[in-house]
Structure 1
Amino acid sequence: MYRLQSAGLLAVAILMTACASAPSLVGRASSGAPLVIAHRGASAYVPEHTLAGYQHAIDLGADAVEPDLVMTRDGVLVARHENEIGGTTNVAMLPQFADRKTTKNIDGIPVTGWFTEDFTLVELKSLRARERIPANRPENAKLNDRYEIPTLAEVIALVRAHEAKTGKRVAIYPETKHPSYLRGIGKPLEETLVKTLHDAGFHGKGAPVYIQSFEVANLKMLRKMTDLPLVQLIDNPNNKPAANGTPRNAPWDFIASGDKRSYADLTTAAGLKEVATYADAVGAYKEIVIPRTADNRMGMPTSFVVDAHAAGLGVHIWTMRPENVFLPVELRRGDVGSLTERGDAVGEILIYLRAGIDGFFSDDPLAGRQAVKQFSQ
């Protein structure tokens, strides 16, 4: 449990208000409980963005699975953390694709590697997924080179098959990755995404779909194309500039267009009211809701949840990870300095649930389900 200090009476009042409100907002499970969102699948157990990872997440109790979406050369949406795939596939080991390695400017940053937009779907299907953070998840790395890169259509089919078999509805929570960049090279995501979802029968605010983006312009574009729920992602407002000096504390489309606003502007009460004109929920970096102290402990809750709810927005946070290195120091267990040992992930999630959030992205859907169960008792 985080410490309540005498100077934090206002924050305590905020916390109590957030807990008591339990608003009926877009962004909760059909039962009304907080939404457990499997971050890129069951990423604490299986390499991310694989059908096996999504299925394992569902089996562990996730309410939603999250595919990050990028585009192939022939216009197919596939699930990868980034369009650069050198770190998440075995492409670097395949001599037939050695000449595809290149350097591109992605959102103001030069990136060297292999990019999905330079491969056809058939070529991408010849690759195999690899663990993105093997130093933290060596057991996952043992599963390297087993799984294909899935398409969005395959993720939808997986979810539909599970629903037909069990009767349990599982939501799909796709993220549009680098939408301005992809539109700029003639590979826009939005039209293909909306058509795929609509053709699959997803329509309306009650559909088990949440479309998310760190950018703003493409969400406003999507709002004109679909009535499906939209989620404005909000990155850490305190992010430092990138190595090349490009600021990363603002949506890329703001930076590219000369808009001086940052993610910090979106976190204010006024900013959240603006977000509510085109989105249904916010997906916030978790420390916007409860910051860490200077000694890396859980601090006091801010007014963010209350302000977002007042604007009519659901609140999801990211990302809950079980390894000690990602947890506040008071929730670490065993070898507290270990990169791989896991701590009290349930305890961290519970703290945020008590702050009134409507859902959370978790690499460990089992810990997420356990936390929601304890919170609901």
Structure 2
Amino acid sequence: MTIFNNSVLKLDKRTFKTINLALPLVIISSLSMLGCTEDSQARTTPLATQPSSPLAYSYGVRPFYLINDMDESPLKEELMACKAQVPSKTNFSIAHRGAPLQLPEHTYDSYVASAQMGAGILECDVAFTNDGELVCRHAQDDLHTTTNILATPLAKQCTVPPIIDANGVLTNADSIECRTSDISANEFKTLTGKMDAANKKATSIDEYMNATAPWRTDLYSQNGKVLTLKEHIALARQLGMKHTPELKAPAVTMPFNGYRLDDYRQQLIETYKAAGVPANDVFAQSFNIEDLDYWIKNEPAYGANAVYLIDDSNETAENKTFDKDDATTWKHSLADIKARGINIIAPALWLLVTTDDNGKMIPSAYAKQAKANDLKIITWSIERSGPLANGGDWYYSGLGEAINNDGDMMNYIDVLAQDVGVQGIFSDWPATVSYYANCKGLK
């Protein structure tokens, strides 16, 4: 997003066979410069007191693989011509959970790697513990798939703990559920993040946990340091990044031990205030439009930058099937969204792009209506899918033959940036978006 000037964005948020050649350099250099090598004092030093120093940005090999895989076109020539550019940070590149294509999401190493790849904005999906601390997890109820909790004594505290029969067989792999609200913040900090995966047909805990997709990797899952929101804020500031926290829907009935939904909404903002982060640097997100209503009314400085996340799950009209080119299927018109005081929307990638009669990618009616109503647009998430030879997955819905190889990802990014006019793209591997943005001069 060349982003975020004052209270609004300014134009100027499911992949391939793993290529690891450059990543060790990315991670090693990142951790070293932050005083966080394997033997460093940073293992025990609080994040807020760790030294910071300028980042040495690096793209690694991934963007070049994608560009080489593109069909011949003027865009491919243009991107090829940027190979000698000096990598730099860009706010157009937003780190989606860090860099979870190859590193465990919402972990220290993943965040640092995303900064090293030039992302200017860092996401923390916010959930709460049973003692009221805010922590970074993609969902309140995903500890069983994103951490090692099932291999620890804390497993017995899970909402639905694993059941092992008399023969040592796991009998409920399809129903295990562990929530952040099942444990305290101190207990949360004893966990280790892992690649988000689970084998729901497993008959042992090891089999359940060791289920990483073959196009991802466990090579960088050795540390997995998890963070509270306070620690995340301190790290993002050290890395010179802006902040985009997402308030996650509670998995428990609210109020929870007297903790109300409005308390949760306010606590997120208060955490940034207490850390001294300017409102202009915070872009609070939610799929719940009422969260944005609350921030706009009660915290207008932060509400002006609040981001409404959109997909078919929360913006489909009753008794309809969402169609990005048919406004009668949308729960709210884009004019209604704007009238609520919302300035920034973040639809899923596929909501913004459709194809013409020749199979060329073009802006959808949804994208056009957003621009017509002066809504700033960001989108999510590039690099969250497996290989694209068969057209991709949900993130490429309705694009047909326009997506048939990994290189088409760059064409997708280009249509989003140039034709739709998005001002930032969330990515699970920020180097891909950073390379494109830097080549195009999107700061």
Aligned-pair CA distance for 1:301: 1.8
Identify the residue that residue 225 of structure 1 maps to in structure 2: 298
Contact between 1:318 and 1:361, CA under 8 Å: does it hold in 2?
yes
Which runs of no fewer than 5 residues in structure 2 stay unpaired?
Answer: 13-87, 162-173, 198-211
Give the alignment's Cα RMSD to 1 decimal.
3.5
Partners of 2:147 and 2:381 in 1: how far apart? 22
Instruction: Calculate the TM-score normalised by the size of structure 1.
Output: 0.72
Q: Counterparts in 2 of 1:182-221, with a 5 A limit?
A: 183-185=254-256, 186-187=258-259, 188=261, 189-204=264-279, 207-221=280-294
Q: Which of 184, 192, 210 does residue 128 from structure 1 map onto? A: 192
Instruction: Report the counterpart of residue 346 of structure 1 in structure 2.
Output: 410
In structure 2, what residue type is equivalent to 1:301?
Answer: P
Q: Out of 55, 60, 63, which is 2:117 matched to?
A: 60
Q: Partner residue of 1:19?
A: none
Q: 1:81, CA displacement in angstroms?
A: 1.0
* Cα drift, residue 306 of structure 1: 3.3
| 1:156-175 equivalent positions in 2, closer than 5 A | 156-163=233-240, 170-175=241-246
Letter in 1 for 2:129: T
* Partner of residue 361, structure 1: 426
1:105-124 residue pairs with structure 2 within 5 A?
Answer: 112-124=176-188
CA distance in 2, matches of 1:43, 1:64: 15
Q: 2:131 — aligned with what?
A: 74
Aligned to 1:311: 373
Partner of 2:310: 234
Contact 2:109/2:225, CA 8 A, preserved across alignment: no
Secondary structure, aligned partner of 1:150: coil
Matched, 1:26 2:8: yes
Partner of 2:364: 302
- Structure 1 82/145 Cα, relative in aligned 2: closer, same or farther at 3 Å? farther
Shift of 1:345: 3.2
Amino acid at match of 1:232: Y
Residues 249 and 263, structure 1, Cα contact 8 Å, conserved in 2: no
Measure how far apart 1:131 and its partner are: 0.3
Residues 262 and 199 (structure 1 numbering): CA distance in 2 closer, same or farther, change over 3 Å? farther
Cα distance in 2 between the residues matched to 1:157 and 1:286: 30
The Cα shift of 1:154 comes to 0.9
Distance in 2 (CA, whole Å) between partners of 1:160 and 1:29 is 23
Q: How many residues align?
A: 313
**Preserved CA contact (<8 Å) 2:315 2:332:** no
Moved more, 39-48 or 141-150: 141-150
Question: Could you tell me how far apart the structure 2 residues matched to 1:216 and 1:308 are?
Answer: 16
- Secondary structure of the residue aligned to 2:135 is strand
What residue identity is the alignment partner of 2:441?
S
- The alignment's TM-score, normalised by the length of structure 2, stands at 0.62
Task: Name the structure 1 match of 2:16.
Answer: none
In 1, Cα distance between equivalents of 2:246 and 2:409: 24
Check the 8 A contact 1:86/1:92 in 2, yes or no. Answer: yes
Whether the 8 Å CA contact 1:70–1:116 is kept in 2: the answer is: yes
Name which one, 1 or 2, has greater alpha-carbon Rg. 2
SS of the residue corresponding to residue 130 of structure 2 reads coil
Does the CA contact (< 8 Å) of 1:319 and 1:361 recur in 2?
yes
SS of residue paired to 2:288: coil
Partner in structure 2 of residue 272 of structure 1: 334
Q: Deviation per CA, 1:313-355, whole angstroms, max 9, x where unpaired? A: 210111111642446665554xxxxxxxx64533321221122
Q: CA deviation at 1:269?
A: 11
